[in-house]
Amino acid sequence: MDIDLITNVLYAMVRTGTPLLIVALGELVCERSGVLNLGQEGMMLMGAVVGFIVTLTTGSLLLGFILAIVAGMLMSMLFAAIALGLNANQVATGLALTIFGTGLSAFIGAAYVGTPITGLEPIAIPYLSEIPLIGKMLFAQDLVVYLSFGLFGLVFWFFKSSRLGLTVKAVGENPHAANSLGLPVMRTRYLAVAFGGGMAGLAGGYLSLAYTPLWAENMTAGRGWIALALVVFATWRADRIIFGAYLFGLASILNLVVQGLGYPVSPNLLAMMPYAATVLVLVMISSNVMKSKMYTPMWLGKPFHPHT
Amino acid sequence: MKQSVKKLLTGAVLGLSLATAGIAQAADPLKIGFVYVGPVGDHGWSYQHDQGRLALEKHFGDKVETTFVESVPEGADAERVIRNLAKSGNKLIFTTSFGYMNPTLKVAKTFKKVKFEHATGYKTAKNAGNYLSKTFEGRYVAGFVAAKMTKSNKIGYIASFPIPEVIRDINTVQLALQKYNPKAELKIIWVNSWFDPGKEADAANVMIDQGVDVILQHTDSPAAMQAAERRGVYAVGQASDMSSFGPKAHLMSVVDDWAALYIRKTQEVMDGTWKPENYWGGMAEEDIKIPAFTNMPAAVATEAQQLVDDITSGKFFPFTGPIKNQAGEIKVKAGERMPLNELVGINWYVEGVQATAPE
């Protein structure tokens, strides 16, 4: 492998990991507040289709991304109304949201299949992007990738140092205790779910407006599920989520690179690598049971009744 | 699964309302059912089958009434869906994916008066035929165009799964490269999916990083074409016309056109002349089409068109010997044509392919 090839692999690693990172960060905030939303795939698809249609009709990528986020949020509020408002089972509601989002996005997008648009192009930052190896990876990406760096920093800081982050954690650990302290449990959960929805919508928009600027039914191809698994294997820590997302991206790209170079490795084995490597590595670094427990939201997935 | 149930219900409701409306008409329309493996919006395999269904409706107008069920998993679910279609009065049912073969034949046994047509399989019954398209004919022309247009002598092939259809088409491209540009190397990347735009684009980008300048694909989304356009290399589209995704990158698309076949089969059922057959149509039958040659010198386009004409007329056949396997053994003697019944289940690569055949 020459240096150009490695530079390109690192660049592709970040691009491939970005949608996973964005969704997983959103779901992290949601789960830390004690709410398990399995509707990621449905929210992403709605973000993707809405973003695509808006950009196609208005010609504005910015508007496309904004409404993709809004679409994801609206979907998550539908989930919240049922799972939080009516205290329905979160797992079932989340699954229903995925099925609903998949069907609805296919329905809305039917007329737009096979229509191309000009997608979001990368912006290379002068000088910085010419740093060997890592320059292209960090400084020749598109705006959403740069934004995802910022979002990671934000979420990391949020849980590490902010008061609001502490509130979210308290609500997820023990909503009854949080409630008796006077913390707004339900409001916090609604906001956390909305943040998760917005992030899923953004990730969907990233797929249909930047990664592969087109709309096709079910184009997320299971990325929402991978992101969900990532949150668990990263034991609800933002730093491990970014590591896991890029590790998955790296393994996915290496699978293709190795095949292209013609090494005699079974393609089936290579196809398994991203999943195997990510799970293995994250399980290994999270193997300290006590420490892992500290980060697991104790009330995850359980409904909260303020008056009982 | 929920999605297909939903579509089935909509189909049933639609069918009911149409049936009520049909009382006033003189003759009842012929009811035809379709089962798709993917969503009709994949812009690939299932999309093209649905285009065939729409062409059928347009051709026969109110003499036919069609229902489709999309995203049906291969296996036990398929049998239930096919059975339901047969029960609800469909007289001709097209099942359009390999894995529907056994379920189709099972249902065919119970519904003797219903005619079944299964795509890409090999079994038949008294009331069940099968059909397939010779994508390799189009793929050979793609190999020729790639051989002529490459400057780096590196051609990429994004492959889905190592089944006979894909192996056959990789072979046909290699045969074309050997003949028209022996220096060209074919790089194969398996993405283990028929449809994952993100992964298809990744594979295209990785190939371009490695010096590939013409990309062929055996997957269904236009993402690879789009990646080629962005990076300034050439690409060939698959299943449907993908020229709009690569105004500068698109060389040609190998399009599956099922309209002629679906119209013919329907007419045969109407006339009572339908018979089960092992049908394998290509350019001559207008099942495989190359709508246009773009972004290439006129001389290359003319020669490519000549190739199409020769394949159509039967003057040329891509699998004409001498053909050797990877071990260098002669599999087809010089001047002989490989028989279709051997091509159907081909599981070995021709000499020069840098890949290991599945066991």
Arithmetic mean of pLDDT over chain B: 89
Query: Which residues of chain B lie closer than 8 angstroms to A9, CB-CB?
Result: 209
Look at residue A155 and tell me whether its pLDDT is greater than 80.
Answer: yes
pLDDT reported for residue A88? 93
Q: Is A114's CB within 8 Å of B240's CB? A: yes
Rounded CA gap, A18 and A211, in Å? 10
Q: Is A218's CB within 8 Å of B43's CB? A: no
The predicted model gives B288-299 an average pLDDT of 96
Q: Is A266's CB within 8 Å of B356's CB? A: yes
- What's the one-letter identity of residue B21? A
pLDDT reported for residue B22? 39
Q: Coil, helix or strand for A63?
A: helix
How deeply is B266 buried, as exposed, middle or buried, from its count of CB atoms within 10 A (0-12, 13-18, 19+)? buried
pLDDT tier for residue A1 given thresholds of 50, 70 and 90: low
What residues have CB less than 8 Å from B136, skipping those under 6 apart?
Answer: B168, B169, B171, B172, B318, B319, B343
pLDDT tier for residue B98 given thresholds of 50, 70 and 90: confident
Query: Which residues of chain A lie closer than 8 angstroms to B197, CB-CB?
Result: 207, 211-212, 214, 216, 219, 221
Give which of B50, B54, B206 to mutate to test A binding, by max A Cβ within 10 Å: B206
DSSP per-residue codes, B217-231: E-SSSTHHHHHHHHH
Give which of A121, A212, A253 to mutate to test B binding, by max B Cβ within 10 Å: A212
Give which of B155, B185, B196, B243 to mutate to test A binding, by max A Cβ within 10 Å: B196
**B188 Cα to chain A: minimum distance (Å):** 6
Query: Which residues of chain B lie closer than 8 angstroms to A103, CB-CB?
Result: 2-3, 6
The partner residue sitting opposite A252, judged by closest CB among B187, B190, B202, is: B202
Q: How many CB atoms lie within 10 A of CB A254?
A: 18
Cis peptide before A267 (omega within 30 of 0): no
Rounded CA gap, B132 and B280, in Å? 5
How many helices (H) and strands (E) are present in chain A, helices listed first?
13, 0
Q: Is B205's CB within 8 Å of A12's CB? A: yes
- ipTM over the 0.90 cut-off: no
Q: Is A252's CB within 8 Å of B42's CB? A: no
Q: Is A257's CB within 8 Å of B199's CB? A: no
Query: Which residues of chain A lie closer than 8 angstroms to B199, CB-CB?
Result: 221, 252
> For A238-269, how does the pLDDT look when each residue is reduced to its tens digit (9 = 90+)?
999 999 999 999 999 999 999 888 887 887 88
pLDDT reported for residue A307? 65
Q: What proportion of chain B, given as a percentage, has pLDDT over 70?
A: 92
Residue A263 touches partner B, C-beta closer than 8 Å: no
Cα distances (Å, whole numbers) of residue B22 to B17, B64, B67, B84: 9, 11, 15, 21
> For B280-290, how does the pLDDT look when each residue is reduced to its tens digit (9 = 90+)?
999 999 999 99
pLDDT reported for residue A283? 82
Residues 17-36 of A with CB under 8 A from B: 19
Q: Is B210's CB within 8 Å of A262's CB? A: no
pTM over cut 0.90: no
Query: Which residues of chain A lie closer than 8 angstroms to B207, CB-CB?
Result: 260
Query: Which residues of chain A lie closer than 8 angstroms to B43, CB-CB?
Result: 113-114, 216
pLDDT reported for residue B12? 45
The partner residue sitting opposite B201, judged by closest CB among A116, A212, A264, is: A212
Cα dihedral value B312, B318, B322, B324, nearest 10: -160
Q: What proportion of chain A, given as a percentage, has pLDDT over 90?
A: 76
The count of residues in chain A is: 308
Q: Is B43's CB within 8 Å of A216's CB? A: yes
pLDDT reported for residue B358? 63
In chain A, the residue whose alpha carbon lies closest to the alpha carbon of B4 is A103
Poorest-pLDDT segment among B6-10, B95-99, B343-347, B351-355: B6-10
What are the phi and psi torsion angles at B237 (to 5°)? Answer: -85, 160
Rounded CA gap, B150 and B314, in Å? 28
> For A82-111, how does the pLDDT look when each residue is reduced to its tens digit (9 = 90+)?
999 999 999 999 999 999 999 999 999 988
